[in-house]
Structure 1
Amino acid sequence: MTELTSPSQRFGARLQRPSSSASLQARVMEQETRTLAEAFERVAADGSVAAAAATVVAARRRFVSGTGKSFAYASLLAADLSAGLSNVSLVDGTLVRHVDVLADVRDTDVLVAVSLRRYRRETVALAGRFAAAGGAVVAVTDTTESPLIAVAGQAIVVPTASASYADSPTAVAAVVHLLATLTTASAKGARRRLAERDRLAHDLELYWED
């Protein structure tokens, strides 16, 4: 993880040599399969996702943050958590700003912070201040050398090895999905909340139906 830190460096190292589309596709698919398997083996062995799910369930308020590309994973997690749990907020920097969250941190709050290389300062700073104010911090990151590790009480480390110019999103998305599933499955009232959302979606005609 210490080499080829930028997309341009990875492009030059991995994609500039002549290669057919079929060959490149095969290499990428093979690597994604290995990375996903490694991620699942790791979290199954270390119990990090199950432990993080317990922390999120126990919290009174749940905040999820990520900046840059990591915002996509944070958004996915927040959307899935909010379907079955109350008091889930995505820290988007606009409607829910960092300063607003930090001004009212309680010891019953949890922040799930997603940050992958090259680690954005905003997310690391938010997590550090959140922890210093007494809140619990769960890091979702890609290496034990991530700056989030030093400030988080718990960490889920997800490999992102890839044959592409971009680090792999596959395992990160899968582990975020796993975290949301384990959390929602053990949350009181999740079934009722999900059923009520279904009823409202039907009444409001939110989705296309034949």
Structure 2
Amino acid sequence: MSAAEELTSPSQRFGARLQRPSSSAALQARVIEQETRTLAEALEKVAADGSVAAAAASVVAARRRFVAGTGKSFAYASLLAVDLSAGLSNVTLVDGTLVRHLDVLADVRDTDVLVAVSLRRYRRETVALAERFAAAGGAVVAVTDSASSPLVPVAGQSIVVPTASASFADSPTAVAAVLHLLATLTTASAKGARRRLAERDRLARDLDLYWED
């Protein structure tokens, strides 16, 4: 395990990276340089290992698609669910309130897929949901930040995204980019996506949802 991987909490990373005297300009340059490196590494990695393309095929093939994450990972799960639902039907964000883990686990089918997002420090709720979903016969796609993540052994497919950062927070940049890639590949190969997107545009106009010049 590298020194960076041992800094598991934001407070530890703050102490290691941000307490030494540094001008705003120097810190900004350091963060931008690291974010650029991390993004390039992540995109090169998923292009080489084919993990995003394989996950997209699984999501397209499923009858129902569930997306879950807890804590900060819920923000990434929400982003993915919104983008997927624009072009695909039967996309459900498991938010723990309106759609609870119990609700999903009570009716898992072998044609269902769960995209579970979990980044360190890995929340037990997401791992437990993925474990039980897989045990019930559903397919699990993990989006995580390390091959040693507890989500990886549970999932049939895993997308591992580097999150190295110069900040107290692990980088969100590559995670958002890889989820964007996953949504794009999935929607591009989904039957009816173009019709669905056009219908959503028509409804948005009819409902006057957006401010337009």
Question: What TM-score does the superposition give when structure 1 sets the normalisation length?
Answer: 0.99
CA distance in 2, matches of 1:33, 1:72: 22
Corresponding pairs, count: 208
Partner SS state of residue 5, structure 1? coil
CA shift for structure 1 position 154: 0.2
CA distance in 2, matches of 1:168, 1:123: 20
Superposition RMSD in Å: 0.3
CA shift for structure 1 position 209: 1.3
CA offsets 1:143-194 (integer angstroms, 9 cap, x no match)? 0000000100000000000000000000000000000000000000000000
1:183 is matched with 186
Partner SS state of residue 72, structure 1? helix
1:118 is matched with 121
User: Identity percentage over the alignment?
Assistant: 90
2:17 is matched with 14
Unpaired runs of 5+ residues, structure 1, are: none
Partner SS state of residue 139, structure 1? strand
CA distance in 2, matches of 1:44, 1:181: 14
1:142 is matched with 145
Unpaired runs of 5+ residues, structure 2, are: 1-5
CA distance in 2, matches of 1:157, 1:163: 19
1:169 is matched with 172
CA distance in 1, matches of 2:65, 2:95: 14
Partner SS state of residue 57, structure 2? helix
Partner SS state of residue 25, structure 2? helix
Partner SS state of residue 137, structure 1? strand
CA offsets 1:52-77 (integer angstroms, 9 cap, x no match)? 00000000000000000000000000
CA shift for structure 1 position 38: 0.3
CA shift for structure 1 position 116: 0.1
CA shift for structure 1 position 85: 0.1
Partner SS state of residue 110, structure 1? strand
CA distance in 2, matches of 1:179, 1:64: 13
1:192 is matched with 195
CA distance in 2, matches of 1:20, 1:199: 50
CA distance in 2, matches of 1:62, 1:176: 15
Question: What TM-score does the superposition give when structure 2 sets the normalisation length?
Answer: 0.97
